Structure 1
């Protein structure tokens, strides 16, 4: 039976891994964007489809930053059923423990799932344009090194997110991207268009990840809005999705 959610083929040869990204068919996944009971119901259905329980998933309080937090079973379920149970502010989680799962929410920002099969370490990263500018990817790779990981062993999936055609920046933000990511930024009529997926790909390679180990989803949250919600296109009414990864 075909699954409702997006899965990275790169992880398919690792039976110990649970991973997936929801789509708009699940409804709203972010607290504060719908009634809590609705969000919990939607999250529970997605967790069930993944073959896990929602209270095994950990969600951070995302702030569009670059902090990566290591977690364990003591944090299991935090942020999954209520916002008051959220972790400290972070835009990425990492663990080597089995039986807990890492979750992040996105709309147009890019979800990144990472696995080190040599050391059995996983991470879930929320990469918005602010996080990319603040080097969230290099920080994530450095965090893996603290677990003994070699960047060359890392398997990385970059999920659905906004494409270059629809990601428009201006003024100071445009100047920053032209300075730091000139090869993925072009200007037309004073507007800048940034390829965030290519920026992440370049950051991953620069951090030592093999290009052959990087899988990037073709979906754009604006172009493929019938499948995924987009904040830029729909505002708050667009359903946010969640990306989850963990070790069984």
Structure 2
């Protein structure tokens, strides 16, 4: 069953998680319903892609209103396709929310167990990873393009949570809408990294299509990395939605040849008391 449910023209929600855990907000935005124009039409949420600053701010305020989670309580990152993951607290609220300049530098993952903080990251084909350990009220999100994937940002999130006293079998993960295997063609250079990570895994997440050209399933690869890290298969939910195939719903860096907007992944606990 598809874990990401079309709740509104502007976002897909991880509906099961939200039903099971009152107060949780989790999902990813679409490209619909914003005020951006041109190649950023309509709901671009990335400050760093060349869109009008005021349009991005307007779009973020609109999403904040829909989610009932004020922008001042968001955190955002200067994503660099690396594997730095930060633990976030309420004192961090607002960093990267209304300006790229104030975002967390060189960061591709966040986690927290505090209420009233919305963890956000931007995407246009890369894999959005979502994490929750209900027993510990811990939530997290990570940005996994091919570099983040082969450098195992998914495993590093699990390991950081283990240091927080959370066992892998207590963690649930959702792998969000991103580029599918058919749309994602890579070369030997990338596949060499993949093979090094999955040397002891029989089922490979890629297929040779011509000399030096492969289709690569980044979602599947992240699932395999999570399984190796000890997360049970039944705890991992994978979206079938493709950012490149579905032009009406998503921005795609590959499909749009680099001139495009960004979706926003988000996860947070709403405040139950002030």
Q: How many Å apart are 1:176 and its aligned residue?
A: 2.1
- Asked if 1:125 corresponds to 2:142, the answer is yes
- Asked if 1:108 corresponds to 2:125, the answer is yes
TM-score (norm 1): 0.95
Instruction: List alignment gaps of at least 5 residues for structure 1.
Output: none
> What secondary structure does 1:183 align onto?
coil
Work out whether residues 19 and 245 of structure 1, in 8 Å CA contact, stay in contact via their aligned partners in 2.
yes
The C-alpha deviation readout for 1:199-236, integer Å capped at 9, x for no partner, is: 01111111111211211111101111211110000034
Q: Residue 241 of structure 1 corresponds to which residue in structure 2? A: 263
Instruction: List alignment gaps of at least 5 residues for structure 2.
Output: 1-5, 35-42
Q: Residue 41 of structure 1 corresponds to which residue in structure 2? A: 58
Q: Residue 16 of structure 2 corresponds to which residue in structure 1? A: 10
Q: 1:25-174 to 2 correspondence within 5 Å?
A: 25=32, 26=34, 27-33=43-49, 34-174=51-191
**What is the rounded CA distance, in whole Å, between the counterparts of 1:72 and 1:60 in structure 2?**
14
> What secondary structure does 1:233 align onto?
coil
Which one of 214, 217, 230 corresponds to residue 236 of structure 2?
214
**What is the rounded CA distance, in whole Å, between the counterparts of 1:154 and 1:160 in structure 2?**
20
Q: How many Å apart are 1:13 and its aligned residue?
A: 1.0
> What secondary structure does 1:231 align onto?
coil
Q: How many Å apart are 1:120 and its aligned residue?
A: 0.5
**What is the rounded CA distance, in whole Å, between the counterparts of 2:135 and 2:84 in structure 1?**
24
CA RMSD of aligned residues (A): 1.5
> What secondary structure does 1:234 align onto?
coil
**What is the rounded CA distance, in whole Å, between the counterparts of 2:181 and 2:195 in structure 1?**
14
Change (3 A) 1:204 1:188: same
Work out whether residues 10 and 215 of structure 1, in 8 Å CA contact, stay in contact via their aligned partners in 2.
no
**What is the rounded CA distance, in whole Å, between the counterparts of 1:2 and 1:178 in structure 2?**
38
Q: Residue 19 of structure 1 corresponds to which residue in structure 2? A: 26
The C-alpha deviation readout for 1:49-92, integer Å capped at 9, x for no partner, is: 11110110100110000111111112101001011211131100
- Asked if 1:205 corresponds to 2:222, the answer is no
Work out whether residues 229 and 238 of structure 1, in 8 Å CA contact, stay in contact via their aligned partners in 2.
yes
Q: How many Å apart are 1:8 and its aligned residue?
A: 1.3
